[in-house]
Structure 1
Amino acid sequence: MMKGYRGKLPLSIITVTLCGFAFLALLYTERLSFLSSSSFLKSKSCARRTSAVVKAKDETAEKNLENPELDDRFEFDPEECDITRGKWVFNRSIKPLYTDRSCPYVDRQFSCVKNGRLDLDYRHWEWQPDDCYLPKFDPEVALEKLRGKRLVFAGDSLQRSQWESFVCMIEWTIPPQKKSMKRGKIRNVFKAKVLTPLTFEIFGQIPLFAQLDTPVAYKIGLKTWANWIDSTINPNKTRVFFTTMSSIHSKSKDWGREDGLKCFNETKPVMKKKFWGSGSNKDMMSVVAGVINKMKVPVSVLNITQLSEYRIDAHSSIYTETGGRLLNDEEKADPGRHADCIHWCLPGVPDTWNQIFLAHL
């Protein structure tokens, strides 16, 4: 009997593993000014004023401290702000910029409310970093920064959900006569002459192994990507962003729920600081840092893994589709088998990813 290989990946699916991460390319028509190294908190100088003016200014500053988005002294600096350290804060007043009913771009796979989810609290959590202020997503700012440029999302279905989130967050501000949508055919191409998993061949004296440790396999795939970026991308015209792995929550015992069924029926994030479940691989995160630090082309890393780790409540779960159809009642009654704890509801966690992306842009 063939034994399982824990921590191993078939060499033939290295490229599939690579899809667990994704990158964004922003194409410029003119020379790019890269991220500033200025502090995330800037105090602008001012001339001498009377005590009354100073007092009024102090009162205004106090109000602005309560609402940082109104205070132009607060500027996000990715060099100073560790976006991975923070907490999810519940705020009932938060309203998503779109819904899965109002935005035509949301796939049925991510349309949890349309698919029957009644609990809407997952929409009202916002990510607050510990040592800095993360600006709210402003669609007009996003459109202005992208004026005359092209934005490309490359990746798997998780990256597609981020693309849908981004488009939905900005499209409602554009007049109907100035936007259009054209859907093309989805093409899936799969060719296979022979499938020979868990084998290896030797050509000359060089063994070609068909299985590798997961981090090793991922490093090979990521280095191929990095070499292509370095040899193809002109950093004066194109900016590259790399999004780290999205969290998977398939083992409820990771967050202390022994009798749970994956992420099914979870309604709140994990509140334990630095929570890290079995669905994410820290060794692979180290591989990302090691490869990107050696690249010639600057790459902005959007580290969304830790903040996503906490969100056991925001997955599609049983409110999704499979094989092009919604789950039926029998499948919904078996969440241990059918709950999707990989993808996210929209609106939801991918909106925060785009909030971070815009802050880096």
Structure 2
Amino acid sequence: MPTTSTVTAERRGTDTTEVPTSTWCLLPGSAITWVWRGMGMEWPPAPTPALQLQRKAAAVVGSALKLLLFVILAGLAVRLLAGPAAYLLPPTAAPDEAARLVAAPGRGRTGGGGGTPPSEANDLIFDVTGSGPLTAPDKKEDSPGESCNLFHGEWVPHSSGPAYTNASCRFIESPQNCMTNGRPDTDYLYWRWKPYGCDIPLFDSKKFLDGMRGKHWALIGDSILRNHVQSLLCLVSKVEDATEVYHDSTFKSRRWHFPSHNFTVSLIWAPFLVKAKIFEDDDGVSTADLQLHLDVLETNWTSQWESFDHVVISTGQWFFKTAVYWENGAEIGCHSCQNKNLKEMAPEYSFRKALSAAFRFIVSSPHKPGVFYRTWTPAHFENGEWFSGGTCNRTSPFKPGEAGDRESDNKMWRIEREEFDKAMANKAPNGNADHLKLLDTFELSLLRPDGHPGPYRTYHPYEKGMTAKVQNDCLHWCLPGPIDAWNDIIMQMLAKD
């Protein structure tokens, strides 16, 4: 259970020494005017030639400073208007907001990580392409509307903490149960996502369940979707506990039912969305190359499509794995495969083809549930990868510009947006895409390197000493944690519709 402590803001540089009863003091309301204050009396000194010279010098310095400040502000304004990364700079905070951002949440911080020095303001976190503007026009606080971009903002301190804990929710699986597994710091629990220009209300479990009576939700994709469904179940179970009514032999596809609301949630394992033959165990060890049929969708989700009222669907990191690619029933190439007779192809090719096939099915199907396509989830491995000792020891969110260029992540994210835009532009008969929405969690996820299990994917990994060799998970998310904000946003998007 997270502990609660009080954050005390200190005034830096305050002189606490006792002031003599008689001293020279600055006279309020005048420029460089000193007075003798003592014994209850004060008056300005006689304007000696030296003092007059001092005043003139001060006036010159003041004018120079004003001119310098004007030049800096003018240059910044031009940069904001013309620079490609202008939208990455947060707007000026209101006084009360600025006061909240002075101190970090300050709850039980221990251990490493630290942050990399901020990049220059124009260092791109990611490029902007398609799918509408990524700026938030002026909008009254606390009133999300059409002009507020829910996906562009920052993480701000949230003293109330998470909506649930490891003790109150039984749906958190062990690899994401960071609190039970012994993660010592708890700061990562005390942040909330705040778009620029508006606020997102926290997930309202009762309102959600009442609105979903008799409905069927499906979350389709890879293990990140499994991570996501745990968050949803934890939030909703605050009102009604779910009963598991189905699972496959591997427990990767599952279904839960909320009897009082006749509400069903299905998790469907389809890491590529297209047909795949996978020869990999739960530890990621493969006995043969993946076989991907890029023009054939996985039937375990398409066959159930007509039963769904709402869908969250995504794919991602699996496309970096070694694989053989098939189209029209024939091998066309591979990515890093053992068969050197096959053409080497980039994972971006297979990723685009799979997305294109999935979007084509979604917009052309006669049955049109509400569909949220959730965008790319970046990993935060440092000093290595999953398989080479990579870690994620940070204890606070990135600020805009700190995450680096993320070339590979950006490339996959751009492909998603391009394919999404193509689907939205589909005007063919029965091809209406109004029911398809972009759940663009890329930016808010990118800014949370502190939200992963890291070594705490297993129970007390350092029980035998801090030098123990452990596997870090810098892709999935602790629960509770940043991924809960995805459900806050989904509920706000539902409210808009």
1:96 corresponds to: 162
Q: Tell me the CA shift for residue 317 of structure 1.
A: 0.7
Partner Cα separation in structure 2 for residue 287 and residue 281 of structure 1: 10
In structure 1, the partner of 2:185 is: 119
**Paired letter, 2:396:** K
Alpha carbons 1:100, 1:114 under 8 Å: kept? yes
Counterparts of 1:89 and 1:252 in 2: how far apart (Å)?
A: 27
1:184 aligns with 2:247: yes
- In structure 1, the residue corresponding to 2:155 is in which secondary structure? strand
**Larger radius of gyration, structure 1 or 2?**
2
Match of 2:224 in 1: 158
- Shift of residue 109 of structure 1? 1.0
Q: Which residue of 1 aligns with 2:380?
A: 249
**Match in the other structure for 2:314:** none
Partner of 2:195: 129
Code of the aligned partner of 2:361: W
User: Does residue 1:301 correspond to 2:438, yes or no?
Assistant: yes
TM-score if structure 1 supplies the norm length?
A: 0.66
Distance 1:81 1:308 in 2: 19
The answer as to whether partners of 1:100 and 1:113 remain within 8 angstroms in 2 is: yes
Q: Which has the higher helix share?
A: 1
Q: Does 1:285 align with 2:413?
A: yes
User: Aligned letter for 1:184?
Assistant: H
Structure 1 counterpart of 2:332, which letter? Answer: L
| Change beyond 3 A, Cα 1:154–1:333 | farther
Structure 1 residue 245 displacement after superposition: 1.3
Amino acid of the structure 1 residue aligned with 2:367: N
Letter of the 1:221 counterpart: A
Change (3 A) 1:194 1:136: closer
Paired residues for 1:1-361 under 5 Å: 68=142, 74=143, 76-77=144-145, 79-92=146-159, 94-174=160-240, 179-182=242-245, 184-187=247-250, 190=278, 195=289, 208-210=332-334, 211-232=344-365, 234-235=367-368, 238-251=369-382, 262-264=391-393, 266-273=394-401, 275-276=403-404, 278=406, 281-295=409-423, 296=431, 297-298=433-434, 299-321=436-458, 327=461, 329=463, 333=467, 338-361=471-494
Q: 1:343 to 1:200 in 2, by over 3 A?
A: closer
SS at match of 2:476: strand
Distance in 2 of aligned mates of 1:353 and 1:101:
22
Contact 1:244 1:305 (C-alpha < 8 Å) held by counterparts:
yes
| Aligned-residue CA RMSD (Å) | 3.5
Q: Is the 8 Å Cα contact of residues 249 and 279 (structure 1) preserved in structure 2?
A: no
Q: CA deviation at 1:85?
A: 2.2
- State the shift of 1:216 in Å: 2.0
Asked whether the equivalents of residues 250 and 263 of structure 1 are also in contact (C-alpha less than 8 Å), the reply is yes
* TM-score normalised by length of structure 2: 0.49
- Give the superposition deviation at 1:140: 1.6
For residues 89-126 of structure 1, what are the alpha-carbon distances to aligned partners after superposition, in whole Å with 9 as ceiling and x for unaligned? Answer: 1122x232211221111101110001111211111001
Question: For residue 215 of structure 1, what is the amino acid of its counterpart?
Answer: E
Could you tell me which runs of 5 or more consecutive residues in structure 1 were left unpaired when the two chains were aligned. Answer: 1-38, 43-64, 69-73, 254-259
Extract unaligned runs of 5+ from structure 2.
1-136, 253-276, 281-286, 291-321, 335-343, 424-430
Once the two structures are TM-superposed, the CA of residue 294 in structure 1 deviates from its matched residue by 2.1
Q: Is the 8 A contact 1:98 1:169 kept in 2?
A: yes
- CA drift of 1:333 comes to 3.6
Judged with a 3 Å threshold, the aligned counterparts in structure 2 of structure 1 residues 200 and 84 are, in CA distance, closer, same or farther, namely closer
Q: Which amino acid aligns with 2:417?
A: A
CA distance in 1: counterparts of 2:391 and 2:153, whole angstroms: 24
Structure 1 runs of 4+ with >3 Å offset: 39-42, 181-186, 188-203, 272-280, 325-335
Q: Distance in 2 between matches of 1:242 and 1:87?
A: 22
Q: Does the C-alpha gap of structure 1 residues 305 and 262 become closer, same or farther in structure 2, counting only changes over 3 Å?
A: same
Identity %: 25
Offset at residue 261 of structure 1 (A): 5.8
**Equivalent residue letter for 2:362:** I
1:199/1:135 CA distance change after superposition, 3 Å: closer
Q: CA deviation at 1:80?
A: 2.1
Give CA deviations for 1:109-161 in whole Å, capped at 9, x if unaligned: 11000111121111100111112222221112211221221111111111111
Is the 1:247–1:280 contact (alpha carbons within 8 Å) kept by the matching residues of 2? no
Query: Alpha carbons of 1:261 and 1:274: their partners in 2 closer, same or farther (altered >3 Å)?
Result: closer
Is 2:139–2:148's contact at 8 Å kept on the other side of the alignment?
A: no
The higher relative CO (CA closer than 8 Å, separation ≥ 6) is in: 1
SS in 2 for 1:340: coil
Post-superposition shift, 1:198? Answer: 8.2
In 2, are the aligned partners of 1:243 and 1:304 still within 8 Å (CA)?
yes
Aligned equivalents of 2:221, 2:349: Cα separation in 1? 20
**Distance in 2 (alpha carbons) for counterparts of 1:87 and 1:313:** 14
**For residues 221 and 304 of structure 1, what CA distance do their matches in structure 2 show?**
20
Structure 1 residues 356 and 334: CA distance shift in structure 2, 3 A: farther
Return the offset for 1:183. Answer: 6.1
Segment of structure 1 superposing worse, 218-227 or 190-199:
190-199
Structure 2: distance between partners of 1:198 and 1:172: 42
Contact 1:277-1:309 within 8 A present in 2 as well: no
Q: Is the 8 A contact 1:245 1:304 kept in 2?
A: yes
